[in-house]
Chains A and B, each alone.
Chain A
């Protein structure tokens, strides 16, 4: 197993390298650059700025310098948009925020989603099942950019219970609405996948055997059904987790959390090359890492899988 993990991590290096190279050249093909503005800069001023950031060098040389700085100093360069901050500063400020509300949302979504799915499956075709299915469908149909302003309207403006936005170092009052808005649709998906998977498992032969042996329901569910039920859920959870701790631009916009999701979109719009690349690498690394985690969990869940 350890050898497998080591091999996968080794393969990640060339994968990331390819990602960097593709992102680097793709980025350059977008019209305009970091210093294109409503007021075009005089040519000499533009030349000075480009010289300062090394953007006057041939592309291959820029790429090489970039890679060397990352490998030798873990330096992802300066931001072109926020001139007194580096890419490392931007990630250090925004990523912990996103990671915090993303992880909490992930926990909430998984626990509630799996619980709801299991409950709906074992009470198949009862009122409880219908309510759960109805609720998950509506939750999935309600996108978070609709939900966020509604939450603020209800909890901040009408009830006055929660602050309308901000982060305040992750105080719980500031976390409630972002977590609800981010976790709801994931929770709905998880519940539906769990329910479908559970129903399938409950109809399989080994469960029938367990029932025939006269085992109580709780033992069947906890000891025999849950693990196989979770297989398809886990393959959904991996990418979902990466999605939750990275791509929360809507949450950042509506709740002013200062997370990195908004930063990523902005960097693309601003052609802030270094930030865009730095965050692409971060997202790429996280995706690779959590795909590996999912595969390891697979091996634990399914005795048939051996690496």
Chain B
């Protein structure tokens, strides 16, 4: 009963309409389209699932974005464009969002997509019985009662999401979240077909059973070999979709994948590591590099059990300064990466890189400053420490380069230790290290997806950094209208205290066949949709 006035309140106070022009494949005038509109691409590994509420990996989410459609999609630049939702409104303090859904959205079996399908899917996401690994996404969406439902204290029907009618979806949040609509492009928020799931249980995602509401339907799945999706004639924007068939081939080895790309079997594959400089010259129209929302960094253990030396901020600053990031990205990784002096990548929306002192110095100046800081901290001759990383040729090369720089410039003797992935995660999670390799990719295009990691309460804060001022600023940012300056301030504090040592920001690097059009290189999250692509006649 208490819900009604809030809806009215929300509707009256603010209205956000999105432009409805920029979706579906935008084929430039004069482009001759190919006869065969099949897009074939390589994936590194078999996807975990194509169930929107269960999927947890990138390659699975890519398929789910084609098969299902959520409230919003992203355009080629990462801006929100309407999906099943046409528009939304919110109340003044951004705790109630009301989405207006398009009436013509249909499931692949012809049934209409309704607000109730979203309610079902979101309840399903947080249902302790389904036990989705992405229940936490429901938590960061801050939907009313989500924590209690996950803890099993309240029934899933208490989740703060209501179908007001078939085309009106209301979401109530426990705290103000201005960027809430951005989160609805995430696969775990996509609708799922209740009747089909009830009928087939866990087998509902098999090609013979699945019903979906996106531009494509799953027609074939050969685990560890290939999965195929084909045009969904029931999709509301089917008329503007160009690609007929999408084939994802599982190819574990990047060099084999590259050979198969060269043989014409693939339209897209990753550039094999270290080969970008050559391929840029030999295949200038195909080797493509663009910024990603990901950071490569080292965690410094600030716990009680961590080394005494590393508890001194000056020592951490010195270690950070002594890393010649230009050498790392140009000579070691050589894949178009960007040197990092802040945690949040520059490409993040609404974020401006603070004027970090180290970024403006020459490497010689940094080295001199690093030496001075070490002397000041009382370690002019260095000390011993251990650096752990998960077993990989790439991480090893970087660790060797960094440890050499530390040894030569600061006399710091670093012992390198690699560990198998799960062992590494366990060791790092337990805080059983001095310095540990880490990487992080944003869940959505907003600086908090990175900076939340330095919150003392974050489960991902592997350095165990604890600064009440940072926690406070993060709290302020959650409800502030202009968050940019707050994030800049936090980055400035990180640059001074160095709980983490940023090394580089990732680059996406693909070989993209010249007959493939519409690839969203400017979408830093690389949320791509096959419906926006097209094949050009050769």
Residues of B near A45 (CB, < 8 A) are: 131, 133, 135-136, 139, 150
Q: Does B4 contact A (CB under 8 A)?
A: no
A269 touches B429 (CB 8 A): no
Set of chain A residues within 8 Å of B255, measured between Cβ atoms: 149
Residues from chain A with a CB closer than 8 A to the CB of B139 are 42, 45
B342 touches A (CB below 8 Å)? no
CA–CA, A163 to B424, complex, Å?
38
Q: Which of A49, A82, A163, A252 contacts B133 (CB 8 A)?
A: A49
Name A152's closest neighbour in chain B (CB-CB): B259
Residue B159, interface by CB 8 Å: no
Binds B, one of A4-12, A29-37, A199-207, A291-299: A29-37
B228-254 near A? 1/0 per residue, CB < 8 Å: 000000000000000000000111110
Which residues of chain B have C-beta atoms less than 8 A from A38's C-beta? 425, 439
Chain B residue with the shortest CB-CB distance to A79: B48
Tell me whether A165 is interfacial, beta carbon within 8 Å.
yes
B422 touches A269 (CB 8 A): yes
Interface status of A81 (Cβ within 8 A of chain B): yes
A73 to chain B, nearest CB (A): 16
Question: Could you tell me the distance in whole angstroms from the C-beta of B262 to the nearest C-beta in chain A?
Answer: 6
Decide: A257 and B225 in contact? CB cutoff 8 A.
yes
Cβ-based interface call for A94 (8 A): yes
B464 to chain A, nearest CB (A): 13
> Is there a chain B Cβ closer than 8 Å to A256's Cβ?
yes
Known: A32-B423, A164-B260. A85 touches B223 (CB 8 A): yes
A30-70 residues at the B interface, CB under 8 angstroms: 30-33, 35-42, 44-45, 48-49, 51-53
Closest B residue by C-beta to A153: B259
B201, closest chain A residue (CB)? A84
Q: Are A165 and B251 in contact (CB-based, < 8 A)?
A: yes
A253: interface (CB < 8 Å): yes
Chain B min CB distance to A36 (Å): 5
Question: Shortest Cβ distance from A110 into chain B, in angstroms?
Answer: 27
The answer to whether B459 and A30 touch across the interface, beta carbons within 8 angstroms, is no
With an 8 A cutoff between CB atoms, is B460 at the interface?
yes
Query: Closest A-chain residue to B252, C-beta based?
Result: A253
Q: Are B256 and A39 in contact (CB under 8 A)?
A: no
A18 → B minimal CB distance (Å): 26
Please give the distance in Å from B497's CB to the nearest CB on chain A: 23
User: Which residue of B54, B131, B150, B202 has the most chain A CB atoms within 10 A of its CB atom?
Assistant: B131
- The docked-state distance in angstroms from the alpha carbon of A268 to that of B460 is 25
Q: Are A42 and B136 in contact (CB under 8 A)?
A: yes
Do B459 and A256 touch across chains, with their CB atoms under 8 A apart?
A: no
- Given A153-B259, A165-B256, A165-B260, A256 contacting B425 (CB threshold 8 A): no
Q: With an 8 A cutoff between CB atoms, is A263 at the interface?
A: yes
Contact A44 B422, beta carbon cutoff 8 Å = no
Asked if B395 lies at the interface with its beta carbon under 8 angstroms from chain A, I say no
Q: Using Cβ atoms and an 8 Å threshold, which residues of chain A touch B45?
A: 266
Chain A residues whose CB sits within 8 angstroms of the CB of B420 once the complex forms: 269
Nearest residue in B to A81 (C-beta to C-beta)?
Answer: B48
A85 closest partner in B (C-beta): B223
Other 5 A-B pairs with CB < 8 A, given A48-B131, A94-B224: A32-B422, A38-B425, A84-B50, A152-B256, A164-B259
- 20 residue pairs of the A-B complex, CB under 8 angstroms, read A35-B133, A39-B136, A40-B460, A82-B223, A83-B49, A83-B54, A84-B54, A85-B223, A149-B256, A152-B256, A152-B260, A156-B260, A157-B262, A167-B225, A253-B252, A254-B252, A256-B224, A256-B249, A257-B224, A262-B224
Residues of A within 8 A of B (CB): 30-33, 35-42, 44-45, 48-49, 51-53, 78, 81-86, 90, 93-94, 148-149, 152-153, 156-157, 160, 163-167, 252-254, 256-259, 262-263, 266, 269-271
Nearest first, the 3 A-B pairs at minimum CB distance are: A32-B422, A258-B225, A164-B260
